[in-house]
Amino acid sequence: MSLSVLSVASEVYPLIKTGGLADVVGALPAALKPHDVEVQTLVPGYPRVLGALTDRRQLHAFEDFFGGTARLVAGKGEGIDILALDAPHLYDRPGNPYVGLDGKDWPDNAERFAALSFVAAEIGRGTVPGLAPSVIHAHDWQTGLVPAYLHYGGVSGARPRTVITIHNIAFQGQFAAAAFPKLRLPQAAFSLDGVEYYGGVGFLKAGLHFADAITTVSPSYAVEIKTVEGGMGLDGLIRSRSDRLTGIVNGIDTDVWNPATDSYLGANFSSRTLVRRAANKAAIEERFGLEQSDGPLFCLVSRLTLQKGVDLIINALPNLLARGARFAILGSGDAPLEAALKTAAKSNPGKVGVVLGYDEVLAHMLQGGADAILVPSRFEPCGLTQLYGLRYGCVPVVSRVGGLADTLIDANDAAIAAKVATGIQFHANSVAALEDAVARAMALFREPAVWSQIQRRGMAADNSWHRPAGAYAALFRSLVAEG
């Protein structure tokens, strides 16, 4: 029987994206279709979302809505069934979904994302004619209040089942107690058994407390967030609900990320035509101002933050450059890291090329032409760039944490002999371990037969949504059956 799911998130590729969350929210609906799960995706009506919608129709109007009026608009956005919350006073702004042009969080983020969650709960409650999801799938802290609104609001018919997916527990949606009166929750909700968190309001905490099921984006991360170090304050709550927690590794959209058809690549290729990558490598060398060479070219495509271990790369650079490695780095993020990378590029012309900013085309080009991609994260719930690397023959060199531990097989001697290696893993948060991993990659690169075997193994690995979508569908159905 067909199952109707409302997915709720703050971003969705290709309409609006700041990171991997958008990729996942954008790809899951199509992947769930073969499992007879119909998904509608509720997102804030940012100008870019509203501008992309075709077949628009208004489903509902909300008066006196978090300081203004709002409309729920349905439409198609690049093939995805979108429900957009058109509330100009909350979402019609420059900047990205979370911060203004000055890089600072919008001061009313609590209301902005409470509003999104409130509407999801209204839909779950049956307020909007024609919409009756059996399951609401909430993503990250921005939608953490959905299960809380359902809990406190009362539901006349059957209550939809709720799932919250943790994409990154470092972002928890914590606000001062002063935000609470604006959330339209009863006073009783401001308690340990409600949305209260360390004296303020915790959006993710609320979601983890009230959701019928909790998922996160890899099995290893599901283990890590139960520890004090990995749970970042929420580990106790997660441990208490561990019977409701599963880790489902992310897949990738194999149409958007297909080296044989990718229109962003100068030269398309498959595992049988890996030599064609050379033209893409030359294009990167030119774009990043690097000298031409047959030696290995390492890339980075990342938010520039401490989570991603960018500082470890900066500290390892002198040693790695001495060994003859070259680097093409694309990213944006923390100002000190951006500045340090710019300095590194200036001091090492032809060896280190840096492009600061967000550039989807360049991200594809790097995967299609660099020899290896570095992902030295301190923690990584899943990580998608190593999966894109696998598919593009850009060998991932990753720290052994979270999804990075789960999605590739280290090229140790046994794995090479057994012909199963797909990348290189090293101990997280260690400059020495990163240096050693890059040295290993360079040694393997000098053995073309071994290197191309690692590339081909990675390209043959199934990192599509096929299996993970089946796991989500099974979870949704089990919740409804429990209902």
CB of 141 to ligand GLC, least distance (A): 12
- Selected from 87, 352, 363, 384, the binder of ligand GLC by CB under 6 A is 384
Nearer to ligand GLC, 141 or 269 (CB): 141
CB of 329 to ligand ADP, least distance (A): 9
In the range 287-306, which residues lie near ligand ADP by CB under 6 A?
301-303
CB of 401 to ligand ADP, least distance (A): 12
Q: Which does 217 bind (CB under 5 to 8 A by kind): ligand GLC, ligand ADP, none?
A: ligand GLC
CB of 267 to ligand ADP, least distance (A): 20
Instruction: For CA atoms 181, 184, 187, 189, give the dihedral sign.
Output: negative
Six token digits for residue 360: 């989807």
In the range 340-369, which residues lie near ligand ADP by CB under 6 A?
358-360, 363
- Selected from 8, 12, 23, 40, the binder of ligand ADP by CB under 6 A is 23
CB of 341 to ligand ADP, least distance (A): 12
- 16 touching ligand ADP, by CB under 6 A: no
> What mask of x and - would describe binding to ligand ADP in positions 381 to 400, judged by CB under 6 A?
-xxxx---------------
CB 90 within 8 A of CB 50: no
Cβ within 8 Å of residue 175, ≥6 positions away: 109, 110, 200, 201, 203
Beta bridge partners of 247: 216
- 217 touching ligand GLC, by CB under 6 A: yes
Q: Which does 351 bind (CB under 5 to 8 A by kind): ligand ADP, ligand GLC, none?
A: none
Nearer to ligand ADP, 171 or 190 (CB): 171
Burial-class residue 187 by CB neighbours within 10 Å (0-12, 13-18, 19+).
Answer: exposed
Sheet with strand 200-202: strands edge to edge: 174-175, 200-202, 196-197
CB 136 within 8 A of CB 167: no
Q: What is the DSSP string of 251-294?
A: -B-TTTS-TTT-TT-SS---TT-GGGHHHHHHHHHHHTTBPP-S
- 204 touching ligand GLC, by CB under 6 A: no
- 20 touching ligand GLC, by CB under 6 A: yes
In whole angstroms, how far apart are CA 119 and each of 4, 22, 116?
17, 20, 5
Beta bridge partners of 4: 38
Nearer to ligand GLC, 72 or 252 (CB): 252
Six token digits for residue 2: 């067909």
CA dist 455 and 97 (Å) reads 36
Q: How many residues bind ligand ADP (CB under 6 A)?
A: 18
Q: Which does 171 bind (CB under 5 to 8 A by kind): ligand ADP, ligand GLC, none?
A: none
CB 191 within 8 A of CB 202: no
Stretch that binds ligand ADP, among 183-191, 260-268, 378-386, 404-412 (CB under 6 A): 378-386
Q: How many separate helices (H) and strands (E) can be counted in the chain?
A: 19, 18
Q: What is the DSSP string of 53-94?
A: -EEEEEEEEEEEETTEEEEEEEEEETTEEEEEEE-HHHH--S
Nearer to ligand ADP, 300 or 325 (CB): 300
Which parts of this chain interact with ligand GLC (CB under 6 A)? 19-21, 24, 167-168, 217, 250, 380-384, 403
Residues that bind ligand ADP (CB under 6 A): 19-21, 23, 301-303, 330-332, 358-360, 363, 382-385
